[in-house]
Amino acid sequence: MTIETEPTRERLRPQILETEETGRLELRLPSAPETPFSSQRIPRRRSPVTIAATGLCILVVGLVGVELVEFIGSAFARGSALGTVATVAVGVGCAGAGYWLVAELRGLLRLRSAERLRRLIPSALSGEMKSEIDAAAVILARDPLLGEAVAQYRAVLEPHHTGRDALDLFSRFVLIPADRLAEAAISRAAAQAFAINAISPTVLLDTLLFAARAMCLIREIAEIYGQRPGLAGTVHLLRRLASGAGLVGAVDLVGGVLVQQLGGAVFERLSASAAESAYAAQKMARLGIIAMALCRPVEFQPGEGPSMRRLMSGLLKLGAKAPANVDRTSISGIRGE
Amino acid sequence: MRLLRFERLPTLTALVHDRTVRLAVTGLSQSGKTAFITSLVHNLLSAAGRSARLPFLQAAAERRILAARALAPGNDALPQFPLEKIVAALAADPPHWPPSTTDLRQVRLSLRFSPGGFLGRLNPLGRGAANSGELTIEILDYPGEWLLDLPLLSQSYREWSRTMFYLAQRGGRAPLARDWLDFLARHPANSVGDPQTAKLAHNLYRSFLAACRTREQLSLLQPGRFLNPGQIVDASVLWFCPLPLSVGGEARSGSLAALMEARFETYKRTIVQPFFSLLARDVDRQIVLVDVLRALNAGEEAFTDQRLALDIILAAFRLGRRSLLRWLFGARIDRVLFAATKADHVPALQRDHLEALMANLVEAPTLRAKAAHARVAATALASIRCTADSTDVIDGRKVDVVVGLPEGGERRIRFFPGIVPVKPPPPGFWGERFTEFPVFEPPRISPAPEDGIPHINLDKALNFLLQDALA
């Protein structure tokens, strides 16, 4: 058997190549682009479940459509004025439903594209990384608080910067301010979880209020990272959170046992409920951290991730400062207010 | 009482944050020291208005640099670095490069900045003018050739002569040294010490050194002042050269060897020692600029010679983490950055290679610096970026190139710099020498410090060198 190998190609020597191009190069700083970059979509095969769900949706839409047409037809049969009113009512209802559907789909798509970017960026080649980060910038630019940070990032990014440089700059100018906002939101939620636990008269009410606040926090964090999830997006987020929340649940179990033991032994006369409230705050903070990791378009680099210690110290500071001040202070380091 | 305490806070901030950083910009001839200093100063002056040119300098990115201004030299004996003249040259139409440095010059820059730590954001006085630190940066510019004289301080005339003779009889130096060596063969070391003979020998040796630089692109050419004398009151102090001397023994009084040795020692005492004292005194940070690409393309001998020259120059500096003990004994350079310059001559993908090659080239000095607890890093930078990245096809292969306007030309050229190895190349790597290294026209800049000067990685270098001082 003969294996044909490609002949070794001679190493290219340095060369100067003449061109017909004239004039100086434009090396001025790039201005922030007016229109957002569009990210390329990778075509994917539809799964059988998606096809089936689409078919069912079409069936439902068809049934509802036929019903509505019959409804309008019967209204017209009773009189043209009644028919017009029915048509207008159906039209407005369809427009509202359509708007809701589009908003849901957009929220879901943003969430999905953020997740896709998080998967792609760590393995992207230098050239690809810049376009992936641009796509992440488009997502974050939708947050009114981060629009300026994204503009600053675009203003400092120059063509000679490598993908790694772009990631560093994106992290420094955009993600860190976003992280600070998310951390402030977590601190607020944790403080409220503490208060809820302390004042709620029943366990059921405590659980319901905690769940509602946790839901608000998750949506708030998603919005900070430019995602604005609707109902579908929130369900999707909760599904992704389930694995992370499982961890919180396990910690909760251990913590519960500890609180019980400590409550019985050490804090017997003091306040077992205070320890439980503190633990509820910590649980909320943990949930927030997991939500941050899920919603962030780029994974945390070493040393960037939020720490419980910082969040809890932030929680203590909240007692002295209004939450709104925390937002502005945390972002002013970059914006130079 | 409370008010009085607040009034004192700015003073406390000043106490903690006001300091002077003396930056030693070290580099052989044509390594880009003047361009580096100009870009550094102009970009820092611009950073107060627009931080976009220095996104990797943390203080600039966080917009903590409140004001920047150039200061007059602290030492009256030193002429001022001609920043305005160089900036005017870069702002002219067409823009042109500044001439090579021929003498000592100093530049001082003052940065007023808002501290980023405890005294910055948590200070109840806020981020006002009173709550700011001031950093003075002092940089010395000098001809790169002069650095090569530093190792002479620890050598005797005999030792130096033997080393120079050894080198002159090998490789590309040998044919160029023929006239000088023939002259010395006719005038042995123990012949009568005639000043005229010494001057003729010196002239021939100097011509040999100049030929080594222009034809072979060699670096280890001592004494450096023979190629770039600067302002010397008594030029006769330079009229010496190496002589073939035996090991041990002493030069006979009144002989040519005795005359040369006396001048060598005078040269060391009156020229080299004061320069080194000025250069190494109170230096906090050091950046070593190396034109690796030119040496790489000039061939194996030029590359090895550059590496050797760097090694012996860097051995003259005392490195070490700042501490009381080390301060008492003089070691103060606690951060050293090795930078391969002219990174705009290679496309983006190969800049990582250039950086890795730089790091490998200075492996020995890096180990020495690390052993002395100094922080060391290597990078590839272009102080003034003149090109843009592009691609072309050479021999049917798609390659990354850089495109720019050659100085004095009208049509742009595309330059393929070859494959930059990540390690010092093995013997099989070297082919024909490539000496037509293109000189690109610099970008035309705004004379006012507004938009800064385009660069590659200058901000990363500054962040490494100044981050703690601007914290």
Establish if B61 belongs to a structural domain: yes
Per-residue pLDDT at B13: 52
Check if the beta carbon of residue B80 is closer than 8 Å to that of residue B73.
yes
**CB A29 to CB B52 under 8 A?**
yes
**CB B456 to CB A160 under 8 A?**
yes
Of the three residues B213, B243, B277, the one that is the final residue of a domain is B277
Instruction: Measure the CA dihedral B148/B149/B150/B154, to 10°.
Output: 120
Judging contacts by C-beta atoms under 8 Å, the chain B residues touching residue A23 are: 405, 412
Establish if B201 belongs to a structural domain: yes
**Biggest alpha carbon–alpha carbon distance for chain B:** 87
Per-residue pLDDT at A308: 67
- DSSP codes of every residue in B67-111: EEEEE--SSTTSPBP-HHHHHHHHHSSS--PPPPP-S-EEEEEEE
Q: Does B421 touch chain A (CB under 8 A)?
A: no
Structure tokens at A75: 């209204």
Q: Does B12 touch chain A (CB under 8 A)?
A: no
**Residue A322 distance to chain B (closest CA, Å):** 16
Give the highest mean pLDDT range of A149-153, A265-269, B302-306: B302-306
- Please state, in angstroms and as integers, the Cα–Cα distance from residue B292 to each residue in B228, B287, B288, B368, B460, following that order: 22, 15, 12, 21, 19
**Residue A180 distance to chain B (closest CA, Å):** 14
CA–CA separation, B42 and B454 (whole Å): 11
**Residue B117 distance to chain A (closest CA, Å):** 11
Of the three residues B219, B251, B277, the one that is the final residue of a domain is B277
Check if the beta carbon of residue B352 is closer than 8 Å to that of residue A126.
no
- Do B284 and B233 share a structural domain? no
Instruction: Measure the CA dihedral B130/B58/B32/A27, to 10°.
Output: -110
Mutation for A interface: B416, B430, B436, B458, most A CBs within 10 A: B416
For residue B170, is pLDDT > 50? yes
DSSP state of B447: S
Q: Please, is B183 exposed, middle or buried when counting C-beta atoms within 10 Å of its C-beta (0-12, 13-18, 19+)? A: middle
Structure tokens at A71: 């409804």
pTM over 0.80: no
Strand bridging mode B133-141 / B105-113: antiparallel
- Do B248 and B375 share a structural domain? no
Which chain B residues in 324-363 lie under 8 Å from chain A, judged by CB atoms?
344, 348-349, 351-352
- Do B95 and B22 share a structural domain? yes
**Residue range of the domain that includes B162:** 153-277
Overall average pLDDT of the B449-456 stretch: 88
Per-residue pLDDT at B109: 92
- Do B21 and B140 share a structural domain? yes
DSSP state of B319: B
**CB A25 to CB B436 under 8 A?**
no
Per-residue pLDDT at A325: 33
pLDDT higher for A258 or B100? B100
- Please state, in angstroms and as integers, the Cα–Cα distance from residue A255 to each residue in A205, A213, B325, following that order: 20, 20, 51
- Do B201 and B184 share a structural domain? yes
Structure tokens at A150: 């994204």
- DSSP codes of every residue in A9-65: PPPPPPEEEEEEEES----SPPPPPSSPPPPPPPP-PPPHHHHHHHHHHHHHHHHHH
pLDDT band at B296 (very low <50, low <70, confident <90, very high): confident
Establish if B408 belongs to a structural domain: no
Cα atoms in the Cβ-side hemisphere of radius 13 Å centred on A147: 7
Structure tokens at B170: 């090998």
**CB A156 to CB B403 under 8 A?**
no
Q: Considering only CA atoms, which of B338, B342, B343, B341 is closest in space to residue B365? A: B338
**Residue found under tokens 């005017």:** B88
DSSP state of A6: P
CA–CA separation, B337 and B295 (whole Å): 19
Judging contacts by C-beta atoms under 8 Å, the chain B residues touching residue A20 are: 411
Establish if B433 belongs to a structural domain: no
- Please state, in angstroms and as integers, the Cα–Cα distance from residue A120 to each residue in A128, A136, A301, following that order: 9, 11, 15
- Do B249 and B361 share a structural domain? no
Residue B404: closest C-alpha in chain A: A25
Judging contacts by C-beta atoms under 8 Å, the chain A residues touching residue B434 are: 13-14
**Residue B44 distance to chain A (closest CA, Å):** 15
Per-residue pLDDT at B404: 92
- Do B112 and B38 share a structural domain? yes
- Do B185 and B103 share a structural domain? no
Of the three residues B277, B306, B321, the one that is the final residue of a domain is B277
CATH number of the domain at B303, please: 3.40.50
Cis peptide before B223 (omega within 30 of 0): yes
CA–CA separation, B40 and B384 (whole Å): 10
Residues in chain A: 337
Judging contacts by C-beta atoms under 8 Å, the chain B residues touching residue A159 are: 388-389
pLDDT band at A327 (very low <50, low <70, confident <90, very high): very low
Q: What is the pLDDT of residues B251-290, one digit of tens each?
A: 788 899 999 999 999 999 999 998 888 877 667 888 889 9
CA–CA separation, B153 and B131 (whole Å): 46
Q: Which of A99-103, A236-240, B184-188, B298-302 has the lowest mean pLDDT?
A: A236-240
Q: Does B63 touch chain A (CB under 8 A)?
A: yes
Establish if B394 belongs to a structural domain: no
Q: Which residues contact A296 (CB under 8 A, 6 or more apart)?
A: A114, A118, A175, A178, A179, A225
Q: Which residues contact B392 (CB under 8 A, 6 or more apart)?
A: A17, B398, B399, B401, B414, B416
Q: Name which of B51, B349, B419 is nearest A11 (Cβ-Cβ).
A: B419
Residue B441: closest C-alpha in chain A: A24
Q: Please, is A238 exposed, middle or buried when counting C-beta atoms within 10 Å of its C-beta (0-12, 13-18, 19+)? A: middle
Judging contacts by C-beta atoms under 8 Å, the chain A residues touching residue B60 are: none
- Do B461 and B323 share a structural domain? yes
- Please state, in angstroms and as integers, the Cα–Cα distance from residue B165 to each residue in B204, B221, B299, following that order: 14, 12, 22
The count of other CB atoms within 10 Å of the CB of residue B363 is 12
Q: What is the pLDDT of residues B325-382, one digit of tens each?
A: 445 445 468 888 999 999 999 998 889 899 999 998 888 888 888 887 888 899 999 9
- Do B222 and B136 share a structural domain? no
Which chain B residues in 172-231 lie under 8 Å from chain A, judged by CB atoms?
none
Q: Give B226-231 contacts, CB < 8 A, sequence gap 24+.
A: B226/B202, B227/B29, B227/B145, B228/B29, B228/B100, B228/B102, B228/B143, B228/B145, B228/B146, B230/B102, B230/B103, B230/B104, B230/B143, B230/B146, B231/B103
DSSP state of A319: T
Tally of structural domains, chain B: 2
Dihedral sign for Cα B225, B229, B233, B237, please. positive
For residue A319, is pLDDT > 50? no
Q: Name which of A12, A160, A329 is nearest B348 (Cβ-Cβ).
A: A160
For residue B443, is pLDDT > 60? yes
Q: Does B405 touch chain A (CB under 8 A)?
A: yes
Q: Considering only CA atoms, which of B250, B278, B243 is closest in space to residue B264? A: B243
Residue B429: closest C-alpha in chain A: A11
Q: Considering only CA atoms, which of B209, B233, B222, B205 is closest in space to residue B149? A: B222
CA–CA separation, B127 and B131 (whole Å): 6
**CB B348 to CB A22 under 8 A?**
no
DSSP state of B26: E
CA–CA separation, B22 and B462 (whole Å): 13
- DSSP codes of every residue in B227-276: T---S-S-GGGG--------SSS-PPTTBHHHHHHHHHHHHIIIIIHHHH
Q: Considering only CA atoms, which of B185, B447, B433, B151 is closest in space to residue B317? A: B151
Overall average pLDDT of the B100-116 stretch: 86
As a whole number, the mean pLDDT across chain A is 72
Judging contacts by C-beta atoms under 8 Å, the chain B residues touching residue A14 are: 297, 415-418, 434
pLDDT higher for B378 or A113? B378
**Assign residue B404 a region: left if phi > 0, alpha if psi is -120 to 50, beta otherwise?**
beta
- Do B251 and B170 share a structural domain? yes
DSSP state of B427: G
Mutation for B interface: A18, A26, A27, most B CBs within 10 A: A27
Q: Which of A183-192, A215-224, B7-16, B341-350 has the lowest mean pLDDT?
A: B7-16
Overall average pLDDT of the A89-113 stretch: 82
Per-residue pLDDT at B30: 82
Helices (H) and strands (E) in chain A, counts: 11, 1
For residue B128, is pLDDT > 50? no
**Residue B392 distance to chain A (closest CA, Å):** 9
Q: Considering only CA atoms, which of B470, B461, B471, B405 is closest in space to residue B135? A: B470
As a whole number, the mean pLDDT across chain B is 84
Establish if B67 belongs to a structural domain: yes
Cis peptide before A159 (omega within 30 of 0): no
- Do B104 and B243 share a structural domain? no
Structure tokens at B149: 């004289």
